[in-house]
Amino acid sequence: MTPSPPSPPHASVLDLAPVVPVVVVADVSDAVPLARALVAGGLPVIEVTLRTPAALDAIRAVAAEVPDAVVGAGTVLTPEHVAESVAAGARFLVSPGWTDHLLDAMKASGLPFLPGVSTTTEVVALLERGVREMKFFPAQAAGGTAYLKSLAGPLPQARFCPTGGIDPDSAPDYLALSNVGCVGGSWMLPADAVAARDWRRVEDLARAASALRR
């Protein structure tokens, strides 16, 4: 089956859902039921991190079998990761940081992408390159909501998906900021639920997360 086409250019990944689940798939057979549970709970944007051997096959399976999911690749570190993710059917790319070499590859892919930043200098450098949407990582460790709020005045054109250390209690504080479109997190995917393949619990937690929309 042919993977779903990329989202149209006007549909920002930051605006599709309040929370982007950050997923680590160890067993590719879990990918489709997990994605279906997240979508049913109201979280269609799913970042599958390239941290396991199963990741690319998981992206390929979700792209082919869960048409309502917008599946992307996370922990994209190299141009090779970019090419492999595009071939697997990823519809967006996320990196924890960036270099010129990686940024060029993500731009050339034609997919929406969120390069990771944690300093003002990195944000300004990306704005200089025409990139306005970014991942703020690691969010809590890098200054949290106070840091992002301080960026909104001098750099209002930059928008962020904060990820790293965010939970249901802190997520609303991030989502209330003018320069935050969504947050990334994995609290709706507790390890024991995934190990037990308790997709109903995942769906319920996803539904609660989707209700955090500002």
Residue among 75, 166, 165, 157 nearest 116 (CA) = 75
Q: DSSP labels for 133-161?
A: EEEETTTTTTTHHHHHHHHHTT-TT-EEE
* Active-site residue, from 65, 133, 135, 149: 135
DSSP 101: H
Q: Is 127 exposed, middle or buried (0-12, 13-18, 19+ CB in 10 A)?
A: middle
Residue among 135, 109, 121 nearest 49 (CA) = 135
**Which residue's entry shows tokens 């060029």?**
104
- Does residue 47 have an active-site annotation? yes
- Does residue 149 have an active-site annotation? no
Task: Kindly list the catalytic residues.
Answer: 47, 135
